[in-house]
Amino acid sequence: MLPIISVVIKALWLMLPAYIANPTAAIFGGGKPIDFGKKWHDGQRILGDGKTFRGLAGGAACGIVIGLLEMQVATGEPFVIPPITGVIALSFGALLGDIVKSFFKRRFGYERGAGLPLVDQLDFVAGAWVLAYIVDPKWFIENFTLPIIITVLIVTPILHRATNIIGYHIKVKKEPW
């Protein structure tokens, strides 16, 4: 396999739990918001109605299920076997990154659903990486090499945009971003 193709495949493979957790949160989302509808000192919602317990639990569960499947079918480079710690960290981290982003969006006065280019597309990547690094630093450093990181940063905004346009048309998402 051409080295560049191998890097792209490995990047997508490694990120798959996070890539699944983020959109499935939108599918399962709804119900009680994580901030319980409460406001911050600035009078704005802490997180807003777009961050719900169902989205968090459903998204994390889907990401973890995909990771467990990857662990079963992995055949070796570029389809490496992810550790369960990494799978859980990437899934939860993706959703935590999205939640932290919403917290700051509200503090800067952006309403729920307001688009922030690049931030909306990479929040979950940052969250997934930070939590994976905290939970399993050895695995993270060995696998998320510079070429992998650069590939993810380039490919994710494209995938994210495509997914959200689909999500918008099937009425899972209110906005196409």
Residues contributing to the site for ligand CTP (CB under 6 A): 25-26, 29-30, 48, 50-52, 55-56, 95, 98, 102, 105, 112-114, 173
Handedness of CA 136, 102, 28, 37 (dihedral sign): positive
156, 121 Cβ separation under 8 angstroms: yes
Structure tokens, 87 = 């799978």
CA triple 84-87-90, angle to 5 deg? 145
C-beta closer to ligand CTP: residue 47 or 152 = 47
Structure tokens, 24 = 């499935």
CB of 91 to ligand CTP, least distance (A): 12
CA distance 32 to 54: 8
CB of 100 to ligand CTP, least distance (A): 10
Select from 15, 9, 163, 13 the least CA-distant residue to 89.
15
C-beta closer to ligand CTP: residue 22 or 151 = 22
CB of 43 to ligand CTP, least distance (A): 16
* Cross-strand bridge partners of residue 52: 33
CB of 175 to ligand CTP, least distance (A): 6
C-beta closer to ligand CTP: residue 48 or 78 = 48
C-beta closer to ligand CTP: residue 29 or 78 = 29
